[in-house]
Structure 1
Amino acid sequence: MAGLLQRHQAAVTCLLLYCLTGGLSIPDPRQRDALIQREVSMQTGGKMVLTEAELQLDAVLGKMKQEEILREDFPPGLHFFSARSLIQASPIFSLLHKMPKGGALHVHDFSLTSVEWLVKNATYRPYCYMCFTVSQSIRFIFSSQSPKALEHCSPWTLLESLRAKMVNTTDLDNSIMGNLTLFTEQDPETVYPNQDVLWYKFEQAFLAMMGLVTYAPVFRDYYYQGLTEFYMDNVMYLELRALLPEIYELDGRTHDKAWTLKTYQDVTRQFTAEHPDFFGARIIFTIHRGVNLSVMTEVVEEAMKLRKDFPDIMAGFDLVGREDSGRPLWYFRDALSLPVDRGVTLPFFFHAGETDLEGTEVDQNILDALLFNTSRIGHGFALQRHPFAKSLSRKKGVAVEVCPVSNQVMKLVKDLRNHPAASLMSENHPLVISSDDPAMFGASGLSYDFYETFVGFGGIRSNIGSLKELAINSIRYSSLSLKQQQEALVVWQRQWKKFISENTL
């Protein structure tokens, strides 16, 4: 024991001598401040030079955030379903709603528009039938005559007739909405005890929505309404991941993918003509990752043709569906290599790393996405576990599409302060903020996700410079050409300047 004590004292003596001879020095407060500032400058927006007006608004935001963080019911620490009303009441959320957020680069076609609009609008149209499945879900179809029976579903009921027999249709409408969204006012941890239960409900909700949204008149209106909701949330550009499903008419006739893509193009042009400060939208064609290789080969062939025929509206290609249960990217390597083999440009925007399973084939999707030269990484939740992939994505300028609310609702992270993107933001890794499936989560637009980013994993040091850079990133890392990006940035800068001036009076 005495020998151990002597060795300890000797070590302390050596350390003191080292300090006194200049090896170490007594910490200088100025050095400490410099280190802190150096670290702050490394975060997203850390090198952004702010105007006097921006600094004024930043001071207001900083004070708001300090107060928010001291709350016992701190929203980013709660499940979004429990936190939604708290977020809506937040002055920070109110300010972020007014903020021009640039583009939403990761949003899915059947969760673009609020389910309330869908139920109140689409299901009240003539010829809308509904049936109940054995799996306790619902299905819809529009038909001018009694539809053919659907397997595993009750006889079709004409909603117009059903509602005519009711004194109050509110309960029915609420029940339908409950089948089209994951949102619940009950304890979400009890309702969704694990990812399997959650994903099953998620997929059933999409199947329920399919018969409504793929009816041609609803399809057009649904997309237009979705653009409206994002526009009202001060989003000026959209990149929509779309399955390009078969769209049907009342008499049963159907339309192919080219018709669907052209309809997206026509509605987008109509919306931008009516809203000159909205920059537009583009489509990322998607296919479910559960298909086999031969189907994927056919779909990639079709994607190449569609992009050639619709270069303005079609941005590229992606795979969708649950990564953990779907086939990994490497399984489809022959099909995904076709564009390069043929010298055809088909940009990829792969979902990758939307998993908390480490070391599996699915976990390698991030590396494979980069190997196939993906333009962006969808979710990238697992990126922190792949240091080389993270370094490569930074070097290649491949941004991560971070969807905070989605990642929490889908049980990848419980407390958003612990989201891996907190670390990515601290080192200014290329990333953009998006909302994935807002209608499915009881959200809308981008403001909820910007709130969770700014207040949650952005930390106390994220500031208006962080918000500004994230908005600019959404244009910089979009699929728009360089010329279009420059034009979009001019529009956004005008909106940003107006936002700053209106909130610093």
Structure 2
Amino acid sequence: MLGNGPSGWSALCFLLLAAAVSFFGSALSMDETREHLLTKEKMMQLGGQLVLNIKEERANEKLMTLKVTEMKEAMKTLLFPPSMHFFRAKHLIDRSQVFNILRMMPKGAALHLHDIGIVTMDWLVRNVTYRPHCHICFTTKGIVQFRFAHPTPRTSEECPKWILLEDYRRRVQNVTDFDDSLLRNFTLVTQHPEVIYTDQNAVWSKFKTIFSTISGLIHYAPVFRDYVFQSMQEFYEDNVLYMEIRARLLPVYELSGEQHDIQWSVKGYQEVAEKFVETHPEFIGIKIIYSDHRSKDVTVIAGSIRTAMGLRTKFPTVVAGFDLVGREDTGHSLHYHNRALMIPAKDGVKLPYFFHAGETDWQGTSIDKNILDALMLNTTRIGHGFALNKHPALRAYSRKKDVPVEVCPISNQVLKLVSDLRNHPAATLMATGHPMVISSDDPAIFGAKGLSYDFYEVFMGIGGMKADLRTLKQLAINSIKYSSLLETEKNTFMAVWKKRWDKFIAHVATD
């Protein structure tokens, strides 16, 4: 008996396909049947039902000519960036003509970003660490820490000695080498990633250390405001006009050591964004998804939920909702935190969720079930959703409910979920037109910038030869559609994006 579940649906599809093949086999030639099925697949893929105008068709022809040329060359040399680790592939991507076009393309919004991993680390080293009163400490665990203070920060068992960075630089033989060493501490980038990061534990260990290292720089009040401004500047230069940022809103401090509360930080985001829009009127703005670490006890998360409810009430145009962040494989599951996560519903308060779920390659575990619980808790989007393909019922349910997946390909590769991006599970989602958006997670820590590198990996690797301008256009439209903006704001955003898109198309079609 054919039911309504995924197995019944698959059986029905198989019978219909068999009947169609049988019919076409008798009524049409094999070539005609083949073309019919290929056309059907093309219509099913992401963006497959978009109709391009004449200029878009011309631009698409030029773009695809470049894409095919690059892919054919890669087939000869076997140097195909999406099949290589990003740290090895970046210099090849930088030389790509396709990549240069993608950088020009208006990409809409970046909806999956983390607060202290989005500004290029070179800016932190060359700008922030050269500011007055910046101190450095080499901890007993061998971790570099920073603190702005006057005259000096307080010492501790972990940091027994603080050194004014200005004085330290005067003592080193080669300042450039020292700055380069700082840069190595601020990113995961290495020439031999497979050797340095032998497994997920190794790469996540360094990943977490980086956040600890740079936190003291970014959470100094004057730097905090400049950092938020710089993040918008870098994404704006990459043709991204709106950002949604997962922010833990850790305490921001002054030179005197005074600490500001969470509301001060949210207001800081709001004021800096307003200032940025004054000089960049096409930029739509930013929103905060207040987040806490999934490793914490349920009672602590319950407090964070209530904080999120209060922030959303006080800053409805800035705070979009709540998420749990941190490594899923070693943190608590959503089900573990269920009692805390049900507080808004019990109180009759709407608090949108944007859960990380399925950022794992372990199947059948409690962590793997995060996708199920995210959907049961009415998540607005699914962060990463790497494991979604292993759950056909959940995949069908998320599609029915129009819950998109936030795909962050470079992050998934660097954090060792997949080595060859042609094998990324999002390839199946794209082929079937599943709702999704593309984002870059913590691009600065991966040695990337903005959103274009992730778009390149998706366009060339995950989408394969079939992905074309329709795919890119649909992804940009999706980023607006699935944002947390109000409908009126989305309409305004779409009008601004469309104007930029038409200009981009005219450039590609004629140049």
TM-score of the pair, normalised by structure 2: 0.93
- For 1:107 and 1:22, the matched residues in 2 are separated by 50
RMSD: 1.4
- For 1:42 and 1:222, the matched residues in 2 are separated by 41
Matched, 1:103 2:109: yes
Aligned to 1:30: 32
Aligned to 1:225: 230
**Distance apart, 1:180 and its partner CA:** 1.0
What is the aligned residue count?
485
What pairs up with 1:231-310 in 2 under 5 angstroms?
231-310=236-315
Aligned to 2:194: 189
1:146 alignment partner, one of 131, 148, 152: 152
Structure 1 segments (4+ residues) deviating >6 Å: none
What pairs up with 1:344-355 in 2 under 5 angstroms?
344-355=349-360
Aligned to 1:12: none
**Distance apart, 1:163 and its partner CA:** 1.4
- For 2:23 and 2:424, the matched residues in 1 are separated by 40
Contact 1:65 1:92 in 2 (8 A): yes
Contact 2:172 2:178 in 1 (8 A): no
What pairs up with 1:377-456 in 2 under 5 angstroms?
377-456=382-461
Aligned to 1:10: none
Aligned to 2:9: none
Paired AA for residue 100 in structure 1: P
Matched, 1:488 2:490: no
Aligned to 2:178: 172
Paired AA for residue 134 in structure 2: C
Contact 2:436 2:478 in 1 (8 A): yes
Paired AA for residue 392 in structure 1: Y
**Distance apart, 1:149 and its partner CA:** 1.5
- For 1:432 and 1:122, the matched residues in 2 are separated by 32
Structure 1: stretches of 5+ with no match in the other structure: 1-17
Paired AA for residue 103 in structure 2: H
Aligned to 1:3: none
Query: What are the Cα deviations for residues 178-230 of structure 1, in whole angstroms up to 9, with x where unaligned?
Result: 1111011x211001000001000000000001100000000000110011000
Paired AA for residue 157 in structure 2: E
- For 1:373 and 1:82, the matched residues in 2 are separated by 39
SS at match of 2:161: coil
- For 1:218 and 1:179, the matched residues in 2 are separated by 19
Which shows bigger deviation, 301-310 or 26-35? 26-35
**Distance apart, 1:23 and its partner CA:** 9.4
**Distance apart, 1:245 and its partner CA:** 0.9
Aligned to 1:466: 471
Aligned to 1:368: 373
Aligned to 1:57: 59
- For 2:184 and 2:171, the matched residues in 1 are separated by 22
Which shows bigger deviation, 57-66 or 486-495? 57-66
Query: What are the Cα deviations for residues 305-352 of structure 1, in whole angstroms up to 9, with x where unaligned?
Result: 000000000000000000000000011111100111111111000000
Contact 1:112 1:223 in 2 (8 A): no
Contact 1:195 1:410 in 2 (8 A): yes
**Distance apart, 1:24 and its partner CA:** 4.7
Which shows bigger deviation, 367-376 or 140-149? 140-149
Which shows bigger deviation, 445-454 or 482-491? 482-491
TM-score of the pair, normalised by structure 1: 0.94
Aligned to 2:11: none
Contact 1:128 1:142 in 2 (8 A): yes
Aligned to 2:42: 40
Larger radius of gyration: 1
- For 1:166 and 1:199, the matched residues in 2 are separated by 31
Paired AA for residue 71 in structure 2: I
1:335 alignment partner, one of 335, 340, 345: 340
- For 1:134 and 1:93, the matched residues in 2 are separated by 43
Contact 2:220 2:252 in 1 (8 A): yes
